[in-house]
Amino acid sequence: MTTFRRRFAEWRPPSLKRATLWVSQWFSKTAAFESPRVAAMASPHMQQPSFLLASLKADSMNKPFAQRCQDLVKVIEDFPAKELHTIFPWLVESIFGSLDGVLAGWNLRSLQGRVSPVEYSVAMEFLDPGGGPMMKLVYKLQAEDYKFDFPVSYLPGPVKASIQERVLPDSPLYHNKVQLPAPGGLGLHLALNPFEYYMFFFALSLITQKPLPGALHIRTSDCAYFILVDRYLSWFLPTEGSVLPPLSSSPGGPSPSPAPRTPAMPFASYGLHHTSLLKRHVSHQTSVNADPASHEIWRSETLLQVFVEMWLHHYSLEMYQKMQSPHAKESFMPSEEHVLAVRLLLKHLHAFSNSLRPEQASPSAHSHAASPLEEFKRAAVPRFVQQKLYLFLQHCFGHWPLDASFRAVLEMWLSYLQPWRYAPEKQALSSDSQARGVSERWAPFVQENLLIYTKLFLGFLSRALRTDLVSPKNALMVFRVAKVFAQPNLAEMIQRGEALSVPELRSWLVIPHRQHRLFTAPTFTGSFLSSWPPAVTDASFKVKSHVYSLEGQDCKYTPMFGPEVRALVLRLAQLITQAKQTAKSLSDQYGESTAGRPFLSWLGFYPTDTNGSYPGNDLDEMGQDSVRKTDEYLEKALEYLCQVFRLSEAQLAQLTLALGTAQDENGKKQLPDCVVGEDGLILTPLGRYQIINGLRRFDIEYQGDSELQPIRSYEIASLVRLLFRLSSAINHRFAGQMAALCSRADFLGSFCRYHLLEPGLSGRRLLSPVGRGRAANRARGPRLSLRFLGSYRTLLTLLLAFFVASLFCVGPLLCALLLVLGYVLYAVAMTLLTERGKLHQL
C-alpha cells in the first residue's frame, strides 16, 4: 500500500479519465497483496476513496457553472457505472441541495432564463427528462441495479412516524425498501434505486430549500424548477401516445424495472395486526417478470408516487383530527410555491386521465383487457391522489392566514374540482360552453369526490365570513368560488351525490380499524396498480366508501344544500350586500376628503384627521377602479349564489333589513349597535361585528384638554412645548386677574371670555348622557393658549404676510401693527356676534 501511494504521488496523469482508470487498475492489483486486515476494510460500509469524486468536488469550487456541466457530460459518457455510482449521491445533492437545507445546490427555484440565460439553458439541458445527461446517468446506474440509502428522518411526518413505529406505510412506494440501522452506519433508511433516489431529492427540494432573499419577487412560472416539473410530468405522464422507453446508455439494452427486495424489518399491516410483512408477502408475492407489460409504466408510477408522497402526505387522518383542537400545535405549513406546484400536478393529472379515448373510458372497455398505461390513467387520481389531497386541502383551509395569499390554495382546489376544463373536447367547445353546463359524464367524478366539493365549500364559507369583502382580492375569491359552483348541472350532480350518502352509512360498509389505509393486503408485481382493490361499480357504495375513507367511521356529514349551510350562505349574502354599500361609502368619503383638502396640504401643513375614517381599508388604495372591481365581483358572486342555492331577492332584502344596515334619513351611516351603561355606551355583539367589518363606526372626537393633545404632524414639537410652558406660567401668575375680567358683564368681559374660555362642551355631540355629565364636571377656568403659534400653517401665513407687505414697501414693525389691528377688529366683531347669539338662545 505504501508503494502504491508513493508511485501515485510521483506520477502526473495527462487526463482525468486516464488517471482514474490507472488508479483503479493499480488498486485492484495491489489489493491482492494486502494483508487480511486491509482486505477487511473493503466492506460495503467502508468503501474505497473515489478520486473521480474528489476531482469533481475540486472543480465545483474553481470552474464556472457551464464548464462544470460540460465536464460532467464527458464523465457520464466516458466512465462506466462502477465509477459513476460513487459520484451519484454527491451530484444529486449538489444539484438539488442537501436535505437539511444547508446546501442550496443550483438554486433551481430562483434560476430564470431572462435573468441568467446561459446558466438557465445549461441547467435545463442537463436535467432534461428526454435525453439529458443526468437522466442518462440514472438509467446507466439503473441497469446495474445499484441502490442508494435515503434517511427516513427526512420523509414527511406521517410516513416517518409510521416507519419508526414499525408500521408499513400505505403507499407501495416504500414496500421492500426499509432497511434496519447498520452498526456504525446510517440509521433507519430506505434502499432506493437511482430513479427513485433522484426523484426523492427533486421533489423534496421544493420543501427543504428556502428561497433566497432576492427571490421574493420572482415569477414562479418562469423558474427553472417549475418548468422542469412540467417537463417531467409531460414526459412520464404523456397525454398523447405512450411513455417512451429510456435511452439506453449501455450495450445491455434498456434499463430494467426494479425488482422487489427482500423484506428487511417486520411491519404491522394497517387493519391486519400482529402480522409480519414477510409472512404477508409469502402468499402474495409474484415474480416481477410475471407481467412484462407492466414494466412500461413503472417510471410513471414512481414519479407520481414520489410527488404525491413528498408534496401532499404531510397529514394523516389521525393528525387531521387532532388538528381540529384549538390548542393543537402547527406541524407543517406549506408555502405558496408548494401550493402552486401541487396545482400544476393536479392540472396535468386531469389532462393525463382525460386523455383516455371514450371507448377506453367506458365501463365495457374497462372489463376487457387494457394496457397498463390505460389502467394507470384510470387509477392515477382516485387511488393515488384523492385522500392525501383532501387532508392537505383541509389543513390549508383551516390554518392558512386570512389574507389574499389564500388565492393560491383556492385556485388549486378549483382546478381539482373541474376536470372537464382539461378534457380534449374542451378545445372544441364554442364560446357558449358556459351555457351548456357540465356533462353527465362527469357525474361519477363528482360523486367519488363529494367531500372535496361539499366539505371544503363549507370550509370556504367559514373563511369568507371572517374576511373583509370590501377588499377587491377577497371579493375576487368569493366570485371565483360562486362562479365555479354555479356552472349548469353541477349543483344537481352534487345533490344527487348527497342523496346517495344521506342514509345510514354504517350498515352499508364494513371498514377495518384503520379506515384510511388499504382495504386488502398489497401484492407486488412490476406495477403498483396490482396492490389496489378492484374498482367498485355500485354508485351508492362508492359515495359512502369515499366519505368513510376520508373522514373515518365517526364522521357526521353536513349536506351542502341542507339548512345549516343554507343559513351560512344567507349570512354571506348579507355581508356581500353590506360590503357593496361600505365600498361605495368609502369611495365617496375618499372623494370628499381629497376634494376638501387645501392647496397647501401637499406641503404637509394640512392637519391630519384625528377622528379619522374607517381604518380597515386603505383609502388611498381604494380608488374608483378598485371600488368598481369590488362591486362587479360581489354583484356577480351574489347572483351566482342565488342561482346555486335558489335564493330570492325578497329573502335578501328581508335579511338586510333584519341586520340593521339601512341608512338613516340623511343617507349617513348610523352608530354601531350599543346600549347605555353606567360607564357610557357598551357595544353589543352586533355592534362589534359592524365595527370589525366596517359597516358602521363612531365619529371619534377629542374631548379632553386641548392643551394636552398629542403633537400633530403639522406642528413644531419643540416650539409647542416651549409655548406650553410660557402659557402655563402666565396662567399661573395671572389666574385671579383673568377670572375677574371674565366675570364682568360688560363688553370687556365678553371680549376676555371669547379669548380665555374654551368653547362650551354643551355644543358637542357627545356619545351618551353619562359622557355629557362628566364633560360638564370637567369645565375649566379662563386661561391663555399660545399653541396656535407652534403650527406650520400659522408661521407660514405670517411669513407670507410679511413678504407681501415688503412688496408694498411696508416695514416689519408696521406690518405687525397692522396685523394686530386687523385681528382686534376681527375679535371685536366675533365677540359681538357671539353675545348676540347667546341672547337669541335665551
pLDDT of residue 569: 92
Distances (CA, A) of 85 to 67, 143, 163, 212, 668: 22, 12, 27, 31, 77
Higher per-residue confidence, 512 vs 342 = 342
Instruction: Look at residue 73 and tell me whether its pLDDT is greater than 60.
Output: yes
pLDDT of residue 834: 82
Confidence of residue 339 (pLDDT cuts 50, 70, 90): very high
Higher per-residue confidence, 357 vs 105 = 105
Confidence of residue 658 (pLDDT cuts 50, 70, 90): low
Report the candidate in 47, 97, 58, 68 with the shortest Cα–Cα distance to residue 200. 97
Confidence of residue 416 (pLDDT cuts 50, 70, 90): very high
Instruction: Look at residue 701 and tell me whether its pLDDT is greater than 90.
Output: no
Instruction: Look at residue 636 and tell me whether its pLDDT is greater than 70.
Output: yes
Cβ pair 113, 121 in contact under 8 A:
yes
Instruction: Look at residue 703 and tell me whether its pLDDT is greater than 90.
Output: no
pLDDT of residue 543: 67
pLDDT of residue 169: 84
How far apart CA 803 and CA 797 sit, in angstroms, is 10
How far apart CA 183 and CA 124 sit, in angstroms, is 40
Higher per-residue confidence, 613 vs 691 = 691
CB neighbour class for 741 (10 Å; exposed up to 12, middle 13-18, buried from 19)? middle
pLDDT of residue 783: 87
Per-residue pLDDT of 736-767, as tens digits, reads: 888 888 888 888 888 888 888 876 544 444 44
Higher per-residue confidence, 37 vs 719 = 719
Among 5-14, 334-343, 762-771, which is the least confidently predicted range? 5-14
pLDDT of residue 200: 95
3-state secondary structure 44-59: CCCCCCCHHHHHHHHH
pLDDT, mean of residues 107-136: 91
pLDDT, mean of residues 180-194: 82
Instruction: Look at residue 325 and tell me whether its pLDDT is greater than 60.
Output: no
pLDDT, mean of residues 86-110: 90
Per-residue pLDDT of 552-601, as tens digits, reads: 666 778 889 888 999 899 989 988 988 888 777 776 665 555 544 444 44
Instruction: Look at residue 459 and tell me whether its pLDDT is greater than 90.
Output: yes
Confidence of residue 289 (pLDDT cuts 50, 70, 90): very low
Instruction: Look at residue 818 and tell me whether its pLDDT is greater than 70.
Output: yes
pLDDT of residue 778: 54
pLDDT of residue 322: 55
Cβ pair 197, 150 in contact under 8 A:
yes
Confidence of residue 283 (pLDDT cuts 50, 70, 90): very low
pLDDT, mean of residues 225-243: 90
pLDDT of residue 601: 46
Distances (CA, A) of 796 to 588, 606, 716: 31, 12, 12
Residues in a beta bridge with 677: 680
- Identity of the amino acid at 740: A
Confidence of residue 273 (pLDDT cuts 50, 70, 90): very low
Among 214-228, 335-349, 649-663, 800-814, which is the least confidently predicted range? 649-663
pLDDT of residue 525: 39
pLDDT of residue 558: 85
Instruction: Look at residue 233 and tell me whether its pLDDT is greater than 90.
Output: yes
Among 169-178, 465-474, 616-625, which is the least confidently predicted range? 616-625
Among 426-435, 673-682, 816-825, which is the least confidently predicted range? 426-435
Report the candidate in 749, 746, 739 with the shortest Cα–Cα distance to residue 784. 739
Report the chain's mean pLDDT, rounded to a whole number. 74
CA neighbours closer than 13 Å in the CB half-sphere of residue 548:
24
Report the candidate in 556, 508, 548 with the shortest Cα–Cα distance to residue 317. 548
Among 249-258, 310-319, 390-399, 703-712, which is the least confidently predicted range? 249-258
* Burial call 501-517: b when 16+ CB within 10 Å, e when fewer: beeebeeeeebbebbbb
Per-residue pLDDT of 132-152, as tens digits, reads: 999 999 999 999 989 999 999
Report the candidate in 401, 323, 337, 350 with the shortest Cα–Cα distance to residue 108. 337
How far apart CA 540 and CA 502 sit, in angstroms, is 10
